Each structure stands twice: as C-alpha cells, then as structure tokens.
Structure 1
C-alpha cells in the first residue's frame, strides 16, 4: 500500500493516522542513526592512523573532547564541530580557518565569541559545514591538523566595563590632573630620548651623496669578470642598463628574490662592499656614535611613566592589543577605506589614528567617523618636544617610530594608511609566531642590500665561512665561500629585505628595538639609510626595525612567503606591474616553516598550536618545488616565475595598495596609466586577474574572492551614499566633481562584476 492511498482513505480513523506517523518517525530515526554510525565509522581508520600531540591538550580543549587516552580523534573533533553550531555557549566553537586541498594542511580556529544572536553565527555554521564536507571527502586519507587560537573579544569587553566602572568611582578632577601628569611624563620621555640622540650624533658630514658612491668603474669591472664579457660586449650594454648599478648605487629594481635572475651577481660580502664607500675616519666616527648610544640608551619604559599611567583609569597606556595608523590631511581618506574593510572582516580591536599636528586634524573624521568605528585620533605633536621639531626630525620616516611608541597598546599592529586588510588580522596577536617572537616583519620584493660596513659599525659578527641558508636557486655555490651570499651567512639578517607597511610588535618585549630603530631613523637620511639599503628600492625606515632587533639579539619572525606584486601587464616590461603588494598570513607561514620536532623542543610556555600531525609524510616538506628556468635579468621578457610560491600553502592577509593609492580625486579622474583605465582609455582591473585567482584558490565563495570589487564597493559606500563625508582632497559631496567621480566608481564596479 502506498503512502498516498494510506492517507487518502476516508475510513481510516485519526488514531490509525497517528499510529502510522509514529511508525514513520521511528523508521526515520533508525535510518538517521544508522547513517550517523556509518559516518563516524568512515573516519575510524583516520583516527587510528593519526599521531596525536597530547601534551597541553587540557589547556586547549574542553573535557567533552578528551578521550581516555587523552588523544584527539577526527571522530571526536567532527562530533564537536557539528554540535558546536547549535550550542549556546560561545566558548565552545571551532571553525575552519584554512584548508588546502593540495597539501591536506588543515587549520581550525577556536572561536570564543560566536553566539546565536551574532551576525557571524550563520557564517560560522556554513564554515563548519564546509569543513566537515572537506574532511569527509573520499579522496582524503591523512591531514596535517592544527588548532589555533581565535581572538577572545570578551576579555577586551570586560576590560572596557572595568574602565567605565572605575571612571564613575573616581573623581573626574583627580583623573584629569593625573592624566596631565602622565602626558607631561610622556613628553619628558621623548625629550630625554632626543637629548640622548643628539649627544650621540656622529661628528662627520652626511654620507648619503654621490661622493660616497664613486665606485662605478670597479662595479662594472666586477660585472664584466663575473659574466666573462669582453670589452666589446661591455660596450654593447647601453649606459642606462641599471641592472649593473645606478650612478654607483646598487641596482634599484634588481635582486628580485622570487625571480632569481641568472646574470645578477650573488650578493657576497665582496659585491655588497662595492657600492657605499666610507673612509676609516667615517667608519670610526659611526662606530663610536653607535656604541655610545647602545651603552646609554634606556632599556625599559620609565618607571614614573608607568606609575602615572597606573593611576589613570581612562588612559590605559601599554595595555592590551590594538591597531595603529598614521593619518592626517589627505591620508584620512585612505585610512577610512582601510578601517571600513577591517570592520567588515570582523575585526573588533580598538584603533588609534596618529595625527602629526593640529593642522592635520579633521573634525568630522576624528570627532564623528572614527569614534563610530571604535577608534580615536591622537595628535602627536602634543607629546613631542620642541627640540625634535626644531631639529627638523619630526616628519617622514621617524613618524612610524613615534606613532608606535605613543600608542596606548602593549601589542601594536601598525598599518600604513594605504594598507588594506584582506583577512581579519586580530588572531595574529594570540598565535605563534607572534606569541613566541613578539615581532613580525614582512618581506619586500627584493634581496637585502645592507652594506657589510654596517655590521662592522654595529659590532655584529657575521661568519662568511658558515652558510646557514640558500637563497640562490640557480647558483651552485654550496662549496665555494667566495660565492656565498653575505645574508645567507651565520649572524646576518635574512636575504629578503623588509617591507614595513605592516608591523606587529610587542612594545614591552621590543622596547629596546623601538629605541634603537629610533636612533637609526633619527640619523637615517644622513647615515643609516644608505648603510641599510645602498640606494635599493624603498630605501628608508623599512630595515631599521629588523636590524635593531637583530643587533639586540631579540627574537623576531620574518615571513618567508614571497611578497607578491599585483597589477595589470605593463606595456614596457610585458610583466605584471607594481600596483600593489600582497603579504601573507604569518600563522600559515610559521606552521609550514617549523617541524613538529622543533615545536616540541620549544621552551616557551604557551598554548600549543599543533594537535594532530599526519604520520605518513615529512611534515617539514612544505616548500614548493623551485623553478628550473630563470630570466637573464630584469629586462628579460621571455621568462617569469610569478606563480612560484615559497610554500605550497599560502593565504593573503594584506594588500599594500601603494602605487596607485586610493585617492579618489586622482584615481578616478586621471588617465595617467596608473588608474582604472590604461593610457588608451580602456577600463581594466587595477590588480589584474592574479589577485582574484589567488584568493579563489583559498575561498569557496567567489564573491568574497574578488577583493578589488570589495574595495570599490566600499569606496562607493563611503563617498557616494549618505551620510555624506567631506575630507581634505576629496571634492565636496554636493559638487559636480564628486558626482563625476561617483559615476566612475559605479562604472568600475559594474565592470568588475562582469569580468
């Protein structure tokens, strides 16, 4: 009898219908239990074959996940993930953070903050379903499974509540007086620092001039001998071929670390010593100045500053985690775009905007917009001594140092105004490598060009006979000390130069790093920038932080995955142009860079990242297969290794949109060739298709993977929809120019949606 006939007969009583419904319910319940048992049995072999890292699991997992053997099985994990999507306890959520179909690298994040009422809850549920589907794939046999911390915003919320309660329990006038004392103590700290810097000034003139790059003939001879070129062949090289040198400086755009050009010289000690030339008197003066500052520099935050701070309830200096930007003037619009994207990604950390002077302070930006985004503006020169301004040192590259020191946070993620987050960066604060090293630096596109003279000046010993890295894939120099890269040797910095559009730093652990880098930047333009970079691309403050930490023997982690340029194809080079730089997630980078054995021998008392490692494969074997073909030099259009990644797994976290920047008045009304249209007026993607394709590889949602579209949509919301915002260098909201720009933004948005 069919179900249709069963329920259509008028002679059946309501009791009969009820009995049938009960039987059907029992049948469905039985089938679901059988399927559930089969589901878990599917993973039994996986749990038996996995090796578990049992140490410290009590610190990581709730008791419901612990078996009698204190090991974590896939069965238990999946059961926990499935149930967590319906639990009300926000502390018992696990969500997927990252997974790679190629390597089976699976990273799961503890989530302390989701609940059924939050808008993120549905996203978490979808993520859990995707994760279960991924693990349930028949083609997967083993996984390299890692558990990482999610950021616990509840702690931050509780601290805010405590501050508010304390505020009403104390005298407002007393708070005000104490705050004034704190501000004076902070200003005195900077005054003492500047006086110390002036006392350690080198007694020589600037070395950053052409007279100190007078070795052009020797550089050319070195290149000729290296490549075994005749005099006639050298004459055939045009004078403007800057891959040999640029007016005696190191080639600006040579040494692309990922591309590994064949004809570029290995950056040995001999080669790097060919560029900046100093005499013995200059070296001696710089040595004495450096040593004097090292011996007299403060080693910790002043006690009176911390005492004054402890008496203030509202100004929690050197407390908690937060994000810091430098803004003011036309840069406000860049910071606003970055923060809007940051908040939509789910970041809830407080933000501080450092404004250099009162004239850079915009009332609408600082008093209305930023507070609504859980941020505040701080006017920097209110804390800066007049001596710093009088000496013309308050500006340019020193601002980054001052901004980080002035910020109230203990742990700071500093972002340049033109830096756009692709992922929520908050969990970087609570995971390795940051909790172990307290400083994360990201790489630049280029090889390091630091002069060996600086190591001598700073009293850093480099053993040129002991090679500890191999950054040249196309050179067989393992057994030839004369061809070992200087920055592959023990005691040196890593071969990749640094890009400081983003820095993550603990201001307590790395207080001395900030002070010594302050010294390098204070005397940077005259002395230390040429020593750090010798005229290479981006010369400035970017190498000062890592070199200071290195000199002080303080731990740091530099991301190993290559910085990746994004942009349209250049008509000149026929290669991808440098419109923006992509930087990668250090958590995923770190996991691949460290073997299980290294993790187990760590002496740091922290929550362990690793729960389970697959047993049938070498865990440290995450390096990508290197390319075998290389371009001759930067002008060789025949070969590009653009798709070569250092690791097999990687995930973009920042886009440093530095050239062009998102100044809307320039970007959407200028056909200079570095905008949304090429020189012929044809609309194009600012970052080519490469950015979208790379994000698609790590994202199941095609809409979310088009980051350029996300940028443009946010620009449209900010400038083309109410409430109307009027900032410096942005056409007024009611003007025809604003309407024209908004129309162009809309047209570009439609172009991206259909491309």
Structure 2
C-alpha cells in the first residue's frame, strides 16, 4: 500500500487511466476516507468491470414479468390524497381494492415472477449490494445529480462541509448528457466528492434490461454502484441542518441497518400487491382506532386496511432521506431494485395507486418487509416548514426528524394512539429537525426570483423557512443564500473557498442547464437581487419581522 500511495503521488494526468484502475478495480484500493480520484471523461461507458454487475442483471432478467403496463383505474379514479392525520375517510380494503385495474392473468404472472425473484434473492450468497469484482467500504453520502440536480447537490455538499462533515460524497450521474466535465472532474474533487457515472460502471444497462431507466429508478442504481458500504442518501434538494456523521454509529443504525423517514400521506398500497408479494394480511387489527375494539365491524369496509396485521403501517414512506447498510440489507436492496426497474410500468402503481409522490418511495419498506430484514421508520411525523403570507401558512419545505433522538423517544415509550397521534411519555421532547427537504420551491435562483418566492408584489422581502433556527442553532436560510452567492456572484466572499475558486469555470458550460425555462441564461445576472435579499436576511433574523 505504501508503494501504491507513492506511485499515485507521482502519476501525472497522462497516466489517469492507471490511477482509475488502481482505485476502481483493485480490491486493495482506497477505503474511501477521502476521494482523491476522478473518472476520466474520455472513457465514460467503456469500463472493463461492468461485467461485475452481470449477476444482478441476470437475477432481474430471469424474473422479468411479461405484463402490459398497469395504467387503468376503475372509473378513472386514482387513490385520494389524504394526510395521515385526516380522519374523514377510511382507506379500507374495499376502497383500495377497487382503484388500480390489474387483470387476473397479469396478477398471476406478477406473482409468479415475484416469487421466482425473491427465491433467487434469498438463496443468493452475495455479501453486499455491489460489483462482485470488489467490495464497498466505509461510510459516505450520495446525491443523484444531473441538470438542475447537480446544482442542488453542490449546495448540499457545501452545506455538509460547512457543518464540519468530512464524509466522502458521491453524485450519481445517470446519463452521458448529464455528465458535466467541469463539475465532475474539477469541482467535486476539491470537496472530497466524485461523480459516480452509471454507464461507466455497468455498461449500457438500458440495453441489457430492455427498459427505460431514469428519475426515481436512479436511487437504487446509485446504491448498487456506490463505493460505500454504509450510505446516507439525500435527494439533491434535501440538506442537513447538522453534521450527519453520528448517524452511522448510532444505536438505531447498529440495530436495524436501515432507517427510513415518514411521508405526510396515508398509505394507499393496493391489496393486490400483498397477494403478488406473498404477504399474508389477516383480519386482526393491530393499529389505529379499532385496535382492541369490541364493536361489530365489517373488516373490509369499516377498518383502515393498513391497520391490519401483515400490511405496511401508516404513514407512507418518504425516500428523500435513506440511511442503509448495503451488507446488512443486500436482500432488501436487491428486491427494491427489482421493484424500481419495473416500477414505472408496474410496481409504483401497485404501491401507491396514483396518490401523492408516486415513485420509488414505498419500494424500500416493502422490500424489507418481504425479505424479512429489520428496518426503522422514524416515528415523528414530517414537519411542514414555511411562513405565513396574508394570514395563510404556506409550506416551503419538509423537516425530517433526528433519528437518534426519535429512536431514544421510542425506546422510552413514545407511540401512536388509535387516532394516529404521537403520544409522548414523560421525559421526552420532540426530536429536532435533522434534514430540510426543500422541494417546493427548489433553491434555483432565477426560479425563486421569477416566482416571487423571495420578494412579494409590494417589494417586501420574504423569509421562506420560519421556525427552524432553534433546530439548527444558526440561521439556516441565510447560510443557504450565502452558499448560493459564493457560487454564482463574482466578488462576493461566500463561506466556501472552493466555490469562489471553481464555480466560475463551471458556469461557462453549466449555468442554468436542465432547469425550468433556463436555457442559455446566465444565473449570475441575478446576483444584484440575490445579494440584496441575502443582506436583508442578515439584517432581519428569524423572529424579528
């Protein structure tokens, strides 16, 4: 290893291919405490190790369901979107079973192929969810990039570094179109981060599987090709308030190996999914208002389906934050990958039936349940974070709780009552917000200004994220705008030296690319307005206006 390190220090840019071989292929390569390498742009998609993923592709192809896409609903009615706290509707078996139309032959085929795949997964002897030619190691953080998401991921990485987090970061890139040379090979290495390019690792996976791959499907593939064994995944528009490093060594992570966070919505999974997945749902009510009830009930009409034994519990899951150990949960990730590969046509609809946020979000908890691996979903409900405008509250972000504090509360006895309200025992307090999922609106400068998210019609400045400073211990909103200015605005001294030094290079070819109505725009043109707003935030801390 000493000779290898000396050699790596001596190699020049012309020998980059050798460096890539040492780090990416050699099983004795770096343990990834730092990421001191980049992938060569000239060899994207031409990797000799993509055969190391053939074992995964073979498992999937052997159980590929030959079924037409599930797109039709009874009376064209998709599942209603209700917050889990709403009590004005019962999501019963009868209701949920009469939404998505699944022909009997299609259901039988899906069940057969699902069982075949699960049997293969349970028998599989791979020790981790990874390339069989090497083994992941260490802990790290993953974002999915590409277009506007690379910009958002950059802000997230800068925030991590401001918090003192030194964990390495990967930004998954799913297509050659989204691979930005400046971003991947100049900017990210300065931040102990790298681009993880799908085709470089796996070859043309779309051609091999015969399905389209994009969007929600990228997350599972990012896990597959990651060099990390323990992963914190964050959506690109999801930023931590605190250094997340302690999460990897927490009691809840050690015990469960996978931590998930709740969504705000009631679960709307089709009963047909449970039949397909081989999950037995009994008539016993184990959650909710009718638990231990002596009332005479019609189990199919009167009881919330997901209060019954064998179902996934309410609330539904949110996949913008996932903490997972790839070794402990290799079988979970293999099954969730199957769900995601065939998700857009089949499993997304089965798991959500057209309700809010349909996509990959339920695939992880569902897969863990089917293969019998333990997981912990944070009890504390998502917090809507925003501000009041003209007397009305408008949510601008979702706050997800600190899982260490949440699990401590759970151990002490916190639980949900029959009305799905969290009951707190004496001596516990709400867990503080750990992550800010800033999805509506995203922190894209020209969109924030054009949509009047920062300045109202009367010229008054707006603070988007109220009631979050106490959780963070600093002005989070001001921090994010300082990072934006440091990246975009010449002459502005942002908190990061890297952004001042490198982002100007990136914007020559990257500015505004892939963002709504942004083609050809120079985002730096908005600097005067952004600087004015940032100065207003600085002079008007939360609670002063």
1:716 touches 1:746 (CA, 8 Å); kept in 2? no
Q: CA deviation at 1:739?
A: 3.7
Give the counterpart of 1:202 among 65, 75, 92. 65
1:191 touches 1:385 (CA, 8 Å); kept in 2? no
Q: Does 1:683 align with 2:507?
A: no
Structure 2: unaligned runs, 5 residues or longer: 27-45, 493-499, 513-519
Give the counterpart of 2:80 among 244, 247, 251. 251
Name the CA distance, whole Å, in 1 between partners of 2:23 and 2:346: 38
2:445 touches 2:526 (CA, 8 Å); kept in 1? no
Name the CA distance, whole Å, in 2 between partners of 1:365 and 1:541: 27
Q: CA deviation at 1:734?
A: 9.8
The residue number in structure 2 matching 1:469 is 287
The residue number in structure 2 matching 1:261 is 86
2:233 touches 2:323 (CA, 8 Å); kept in 1? yes
Name the CA distance, whole Å, in 1 between partners of 2:400 and 2:77: 31
Q: How does 1:438-453 map to 2 (within 5 A)?
A: 438-453=257-272
Give the counterpart of 1:190 among 28, 53, 61. 53
The residue number in structure 2 matching 1:328 is 146
Q: Does 1:546 align with 2:361?
A: no
Name the CA distance, whole Å, in 1 between partners of 2:523 and 2:399: 36
The residue number in structure 2 matching 1:342 is 160
Name the CA distance, whole Å, in 2 between partners of 1:393 and 1:275: 26
Q: How does 1:357-368 map to 2 (within 5 A)?
A: 357-368=175-186
Q: Does 1:283 align with 2:101?
A: no
Tell me the SS of whatever aligns to 1:397. helix
Tell me the SS of whatever aligns to 1:445. coil
Tell me the SS of whatever aligns to 2:283. strand
Q: CA deviation at 1:565?
A: 1.4
Q: Deviations over 1:220-277 (max 9, x none)?
A: xxxxxxxxxxxxxxxxxxxxxxxxxxx411112x1x12xx333222x23233223223
Q: 1:164 to 1:464 in 2, by over 3 A?
A: farther
Q: 1:662 to 1:345 in 2, by over 3 A?
A: same
TM-score (structure 1 length as normaliser): 0.59
Q: CA deviation at 1:367?
A: 2.7
Name the CA distance, whole Å, in 1 between partners of 2:352 and 2:58: 27
2:118 touches 2:371 (CA, 8 Å); kept in 1? no
Q: How does 1:548-627 map to 2 (within 5 A)?
A: 548-569=367-388, 576-594=393-411, 619-620=412-413, 622=414
Q: CA deviation at 1:592?
A: 1.2
Tell me the SS of whatever aligns to 1:648. coil
Give the counterpart of 2:171 among 353, 358, 361. 353
Q: Deviations over 1:384-414 (max 9, x none)?
A: 3325157342211111111111110100111
Q: CA deviation at 1:669?
A: 3.5
Give the counterpart of 1:717 among 469, 486, 489. 486
Q: How does 1:374-393 map to 2 (within 5 A)?
A: 374-389=192-207, 391-393=210-212
Q: 1:330 to 1:499 in 2, by over 3 A?
A: same
Q: 1:592 to 1:163 in 2, by over 3 A?
A: farther
Larger radius of gyration: 1
Give the counterpart of 2:431 among 646, 650, 674. 650
Name the CA distance, whole Å, in 2 between partners of 1:711 and 1:303: 36
Structure 1: unaligned runs, 5 residues or longer: 1-159, 217-246, 310-316, 595-618, 631-640
The residue number in structure 2 matching 1:667 is 448
Q: 1:644 to 1:705 in 2, by over 3 A?
A: farther
* Root-mean-square deviation over aligned CA pairs: 3.5
Q: 1:584 to 1:536 in 2, by over 3 A?
A: same
1:446 touches 1:497 (CA, 8 Å); kept in 2? yes
The residue number in structure 1 matching 2:136 is 318
Q: 1:546 to 1:443 in 2, by over 3 A?
A: same
Name the CA distance, whole Å, in 2 between partners of 1:379 and 1:305: 14
TM-score (structure 2 length as normaliser): 0.81
Name the CA distance, whole Å, in 1 between partners of 2:239 and 2:2: 30
Q: CA deviation at 1:318?
A: 0.7
Q: 1:277 to 1:626 in 2, by over 3 A?
A: closer
Q: CA deviation at 1:165?
A: 6.4
Name the CA distance, whole Å, in 2 between partners of 1:350 and 1:198: 33
